[in-house]
């Protein structure tokens, strides 16, 4: 056993140049661990509340740390519960979900370091304990955004993310191919928040055509080694059911995230029924719909609205609650996709989390910016350990 000796929070900058929280924990035994907190740009109303990172750091240093010092670093459930109770609000608005999450993630990393085992292994053990089911860690397939619009793009495209689902090396090839196509077609572009192209085009279909051309010119076939996905981010982009089905059929789109707004439960359910008429092999993901909350996922399961869930640690604010949501998803046969946020740091925690819970997929942006690539590289490192 090793008890917490001190907890220190400080401000660092995220990939958008915005302040966020980094937490370092040290134990009596000399083990330590650091974790940092991501944040979103296209956030939903159901997400836990974040406080100003400066306030969050003060809350950690002055309120959370004194409560947790002396606790056993391996008692993740108790540590998370203590913070939830200390906060006392449903949405973690008192201390801030970003403050609580920083400590929660740093706790797990410190415990893994203390035990001298990889983080994914530590998380896997805790996940098995929470879910009551034995599960072998497994490396997920990346969902990589190639073209962006909406809140991430700052261009005229409505759909937020046009993704390809494949191995990282394929994603890099396709990304470069798309760059060539944009140059050849003389389309101006910027680079969006997650490293994807934000082209100066108007129609979502044109973005899909560019991606399909890019993957075929890179030597792939849509639906074989490479699959397509969309994050419509339906809180901000309004497309009809018919239009979505049309895109799904025409471009053989495997995965559709947040096709509608975060309160449009019926529309999700209707789309699911219609997708099922076509084939059983699709992924309909709720992101802002579920906000990584157990009650919301249970509502979705009861009402047959989706078959997958996006998992973002900062939507709920503790590791324990995140793992509880994943356990529920698995029980209901929902595919869970562990996801980054548009505001990221160099922390690779989500790569270990995805492996620990044997997520089929992980979303970590285009495989180009450092803070995104680091997560994919961590997956490759784990993959090598498995061999």
Which CB, 194 or 231, lies closer to Zn ion? 231
40 binds ligand PGA (CB under 6 A): yes
231 binds Zn ion (CB under 5 A): yes
Edge-to-edge strand order for the sheet containing 19-27?
Answer: 4-13, 19-27, 32-36
Going from the C-alpha of 118 to that of each of 115, 127, 171, 380, the distances in angstroms are 9, 14, 27, 14
Residues 6+ apart with CB under 8 A from 153: 147, 160, 190, 192, 196, 198
Reference 368, options 216, 160, 192; nearest CA is 192
Give the x/- contact pattern for ligand PGA in 279-308, rule: CB under 6 A.
--------x---------------------
Which of Zn ion, ligand PGA, none lies near 341, with the C-beta cut-off 5 to 8 A by kind? Answer: ligand PGA
CB of 260 to ligand PGA, least distance (A): 13
Give the x/- contact pattern for ligand PGA in 319-348, rule: CB under 6 A.
--------------------x-xx------
**Catalytic annotation, pick one of 22, 47, 194, 321:** 194
Tell which positions 85-144 bind ligand PGA, by CB under 6 A: none
41 binds ligand PGA (CB under 6 A): yes
The span from the CA of 74 to the CA of 302, in Å, is 34
- CB distance 26 to 69 below 8 Å: no
Residues 6+ apart with CB under 8 A from 267: 241, 259, 260
- CB distance 290 to 300 below 8 Å: yes
Which CB, 41 or 377, lies closer to ligand PGA? 41
To the query of whether residue 194 is one of the catalytic residues in this protein, the response is yes
14 binds ligand PGA (CB under 6 A): no
CB of 244 to Zn ion, least distance (A): 15
Footprint of ligand PGA on this chain (CB under 6 A)?
Answer: 40-43, 231, 233, 287, 339, 341-342
Q: Please identify every residue annotated as catalytic.
A: 194, 312
């Amino acid at each position: 056993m090793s008890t917490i000796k001190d907890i220190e929070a400080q401000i660092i900058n995220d990939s958008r140049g915005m302040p966020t929280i980094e937490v370092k924990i040290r134990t009596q035994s000399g083990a330590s661990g650091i974790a940092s907190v991501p944040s979103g740009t296209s956030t939903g109303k159901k997400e836990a509340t974040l406080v100003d990172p400066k306030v969050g750091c003060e809350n950690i240093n002055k309120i959370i740390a004194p409560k947790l010092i002396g606790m056993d670093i391996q008692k993740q459930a108790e540590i998370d519960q203590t913070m939830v109770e200390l906060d006392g609000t449903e949405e973690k608005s008192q201390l801030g979900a970003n403050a609580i999450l920083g400590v929660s993630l740093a706790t797990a990393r410190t415990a893994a370091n203390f035990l001298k085992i990889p983080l994914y292994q530590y998380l896997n053990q805790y996940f098995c304990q929470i879910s009551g089911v034995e599960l072998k860690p497994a490396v997920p397939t990346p969902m990589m955004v190639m073209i962006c619009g909406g809140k991430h793009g700052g261009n005229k495209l409505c759909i937020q993310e046009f993704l390809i689902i494949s191995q990282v090396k394929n994603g890099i090839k396709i990304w470069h191919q798309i760059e060539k196509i944009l140059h050849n077609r003389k389309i101006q572009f910027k680079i969006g928040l997650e490293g994807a192209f934000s082209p100066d085009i108007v129609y979502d279909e044109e973005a899909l055509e560019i991606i399909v051309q890019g993957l075929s010119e890179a030597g792939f076939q849509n639906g074989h080694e490479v699959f397509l996905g969309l994050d419509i981010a339906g809180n901000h982009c309004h497309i009809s059911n018919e239009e979505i089905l049309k895109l799904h059929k025409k471009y053989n789109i495997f995965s559709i995230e947040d096709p509608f707004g975060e309160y449009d439960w019926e529309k999700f359910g209707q789309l699911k029924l219609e997708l099922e008429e076509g084939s059983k092999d699709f992924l309909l993901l709720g992101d802002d719909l579920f906000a990584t909350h157990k009650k919301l996922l249970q509502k979705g399961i009861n009402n047959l609205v989706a078959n997958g869930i996006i998992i973002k640690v900062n939507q709920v604010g503790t590791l324990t609650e995140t793992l509880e949501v994943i356990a529920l998803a698995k029980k209901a046969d929902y595919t869970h996709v562990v996801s980054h946020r548009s505001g990221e740091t160099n922390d690779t925690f989500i790569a270990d989390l995805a492996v620990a819970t044997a997520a089929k997929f992980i979303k970590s942006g285009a495989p180009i910016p450092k803070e995104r690539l680091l997560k994919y590289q961590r997956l490759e490192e784990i993959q090598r350990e498995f061999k």
